[in-house]
Structure 1
Amino acid sequence: MTSQAPASGTGAIDIVVNLFTPHEVANHQTGFDASFTTQVRMAEHMKTGVSIDDYLKKMDRAGIERSLLIAVRAGDRDMRGSFEIPYEQVAQWCRKHPDRFSGLAGVDPFRGVAGLKELDHAVRDLGFVGAHLYPHWFKLAPDAALYYPYYARCVELGVPIMMQVGQNLIYQKTVRLPSVARPILLDQIAIDFPDLKLIGIHVGVPWTDEMIAMAWKHENVFIGIDAYAPKHLPATLVRYMDSYGAHKVLFGTDWPVIDPERAVREMRDHGLRPASYDLVMRGNAVKVFGL
């Protein structure tokens, strides 16, 4: 394919991206069903998946230089509806397009020491730049003891961890998961691990003000503004990212939930100050993930 990618060092960075090719759809590795795609108004032509080449074209049109691909671990392997994206499934694309993709290692707290060794492998051998956690899939609040060895290992490896905070929707009609991760629960984690960079993704809805409070209180807590169309971001969050919180907010889409072209266009429509916009869209991700 002919790429019109942004020049290195100039494009946006999308910190929350799911593999959504025909392979993941066919192998039930998306975690959602037809009712969810209808709820988020996914275009009919997308529902069978979007190839990596076509996704790269979307990135180019949107002016996105790099996407962080999640090797998702969603739920205990014995739980109905759970799924995962093996680390190697993400690593293959990072190797093929090293200037466009970086990997994030999903965390399953029930895998114990084996999971810690796999996290080591993802960062040290596969070059992944962070960890990722979906607390609701494990029905465990983010301050639960089972997560703490993974937080400690992230500190040792020098990588951040992102996790969904706020409510979660019903992704599958047959699997109804509790919203266990209010942003305020990051408070104790940030205190216990002051050297761990924590990113609360999915905005924190409906507790966005709690998420802002945590980012304001703790130097090591950040906010990911993905999974919701930017035009619908709460006004308090828009003010925060354009003022004293410009250095604490990171752009993301949660593709395929939000289209990257739409997301970048709506971010521009907010009319942020140039310095704030550059930090949110790129600079903060470079710093937090060491890109």
Structure 2
Amino acid sequence: MTGYIDIVCNIYTPEAVQNGWTGLDDDFKRQVRMPADMFGGVSIDEYLKKMDRAGIERSLLIAVRAGDLNVRGSWEIPYKVIADIVAQHPDRFSGLAGIDQTRGMQGLRDLTRAVEDYGFVGAHWYPHWFATAPDAAQIYPYYAKCCELDIPIMMQVGQNLVYSKERRLPSVARPILLDQVAIDFPDLPIIGIHIGVPWTDEMIAMCWKHPNIYTAGDAYAPKHWPKQYVRYADSYGSHKVLFGTDWPVIDPERAVAEVAELGLRPASHARMMRENALAVFTKLPR
């Protein structure tokens, strides 16, 4: 093990697949070239073996909240499910609390409980599942609560694909929409995950402009990362790019191997694969 930290990881166990906790249909699995024998899920024990082979010390598991539960096709992973996995493997996993801003004050209480009782280290939000832009008023109380709890928030920016034909989602989170959020919450670490494709230059611009905005190279195989993103990670943005897989979209063994093939300078590689995560997620064990 080489101590890498994967900041974007979903549970993809047989239980998660059976309970509809992935949001992925078979068409999407084929689109990302998932092996057919994985369609039914991968156990936590098997995934830990993948982490070991990849050199990943810790993965941040998302207790996803994907849309207003009053809307057909929305779903969530209960916080307790993630908390139990973390409790069983405290040296390998940490939790991220999914946000559903439609729950109002109850959602804020849930977020507080996730951090204070379950030890979750950050928040996660999917703007497209709620058709809500990152600078919308409805999400602002959650940004404030994250500041209060001293945790970062990550969110998917850029386009979203058709994960399931039953629920097509709009792309509502261009990276430029983080601009006003960072101005209003300068103390809140904000991570734009999924690279910002196809608006990668906007993602880089936001990271350059705001000290509290970061990005993660997850959901896309590193060998296909935009060239300007790789240059940014290996130069003046080496302190701003974090490593993630968005498992099961990208296999961790593949991701780690392909990052190694990018030819990053040793210091840039170390920052991306571990040091930046420790700097942003201050509640992670040292």
For the residue of structure 2 that corresponds to 1:246, the secondary structure is coil
For the residue of structure 1 that corresponds to 2:239, the secondary structure is helix
1:238 aligned partner: 230
* Residue 50 (structure 1) aligned with residue 28 (structure 2): no
Show the 5 A alignment for 1:94-173.
Answer: 94-173=86-165
Q: Distance in 2 between matches of 1:272 and 1:34?
A: 35
Q: How far has the Cα of 1:138 moved from its partner?
A: 0.2
1:265 aligned partner: 257
Deviations 1:64-112 (A, max 9, x none): 0000000000000011211100000000011011010000000000000
Q: Distance in 2 between matches of 1:122 and 1:28?
A: 22
Q: Distance in 2 between matches of 1:145 and 1:11?
A: 39
Give the 4+ runs in structure 1 shifted more than 6 A.
Answer: none
Amino acid at match of 1:73: R
Deviations 1:193-223 (A, max 9, x none): 0000000000100000000000000000000
Q: How far has the Cα of 1:174 moved from its partner?
A: 1.6
Q: Distance in 1 between matches of 2:214 and 2:77?
A: 25
Amino acid at match of 2:234: D
Structure 1 vs Structure 2 CA RMSD: 0.5
Amino acid at match of 2:135: D
Amino acid at match of 2:173: A
- The alignment's TM-score, normalised by the length of structure 1, stands at 0.97
Share of identical aligned residues, percent?
69
2:19 aligned partner: 27
1:65 aligned partner: 57
Q: Distance in 2 between matches of 1:134 and 1:270?
A: 29
Q: How far has the Cα of 1:255 moved from its partner?
A: 0.1
Q: Distance in 2 between matches of 1:80 and 1:180?
A: 19
For the residue of structure 2 that corresponds to 1:110, the secondary structure is helix
- Gaps (5+ residues) in structure 2? none
- Gaps (5+ residues) in structure 1? 1-5
Q: How far has the Cα of 1:233 moved from its partner?
A: 0.4
- The alignment's TM-score, normalised by the length of structure 2, stands at 0.98
Q: How far has the Cα of 1:232 moved from its partner?
A: 0.3
Q: Distance in 1 between matches of 2:115 and 2:216?
A: 21
Amino acid at match of 2:105: V
Q: Distance in 2 between matches of 1:79 and 1:209?
A: 34
Deviations 1:214-238 (A, max 9, x none): 0000000000110000000000000
